[in-house]
Amino acid sequence: MKATNPMTNNHKPMMDILIFITSVEKPEHVMEVKPLLTAVPAITGWNFDLEDCDNILRIEASNISPRYIESLLQTAGYDCRELEY
């Protein structure tokens, strides 16, 4: 049996997890930005935590700038800034 290296990702592209503080407060707001986020091929997953006081947006993506996400939501009229962690 061949040993596998747990540090490899089996040829999957590296995914970044980006976290943002937003002004998206309601499910209706999420529906407004959904087409913007789903239209970006580099984004493989996203979700909002509207129960968090900072209305957190979590994005899984490869090779995407946090500034791009911020500007994307800002063009839709929402505040968005990366949460440094």
Query: For residue 11, is pLDDT > 60?
Result: no
- Integer Cα distance of 78 and 26 in angstroms: 12
Are the beta carbons of 20 and 57 closer than 8 angstroms?
Answer: yes
Over residues 31-67, the pLDDT tens digits come to 999 999 999 999 999 999 999 999 999 999 999 999 9
Are the beta carbons of 55 and 22 closer than 8 angstroms?
Answer: yes
Three-state DSSP class for 14? Answer: coil
How much of the chain exceeds pLDDT 90, in percent? 80
Are the beta carbons of 57 and 22 closer than 8 angstroms?
Answer: yes
Name the architecture of domain 16-82: 2-Layer Sandwich (3.30)
Query: For residue 6, is pLDDT > 70?
Result: no
Res 10: pLDDT:
55
